[in-house]
Amino acid sequence: MVHWVALWATALDEVVQEARPHDADAFVAYLSWFLPRTRTQVQHVPAKPPTETAPVTQTYPRARDVNYDRTIDLIADLDRQLMYGIDNFPVMNLVQQRSLLTRVKDGCRRFLSGVTYRGRHEDVVHPP
């Protein structure tokens, strides 16, 4: 810590005082480099944007929403099964424990299938 305090104490002694005169060409070159990198672009927006009527054949792809709803249902089912298993695991026999873990594993697989859907085929709906 003492090292950093000593550096701050001597900071004013190490200031570089440039004695060169101001160069207007260098300043213009600096601005041509600086401004595009730090300023946003202003674009014209028309007062009334063009509108067009969508054709009847252009419909909303519902597959993603259906898969999302099924994924939410899967999570609720997994939550219910896991809470039941946590509460009753000590009194379950080995077959019941394996059955529970198999159902949870299958539910996780179906959940990942629904979540990782990327819309490659817009009409694909995962089975429930």
| 88 membership: H or E segment, kind and range | helix 63-88
Q: What is the pLDDT of residue 128?
A: 55
pLDDT digits (tens, 9 = 90+) for 46-92: 778 777 777 777 677 777 777 778 888 888 888 888 888 888 888 88
- Give the start-to-end residue ranges of the domains of the chain: 63-115
Contact 114, 68 (CB under 8 A): yes
Length of the chain, in residues: 128
The C-alpha R_g of the chain, in whole angstroms, comes to: 32
**Dihedral pair phi/psi, residue 103, rounded to 5°:** -65, -40
pLDDT digits (tens, 9 = 90+) for 94-118: 898 888 888 888 888 877 777 776 5
The SS3 call for residue 29 is helix
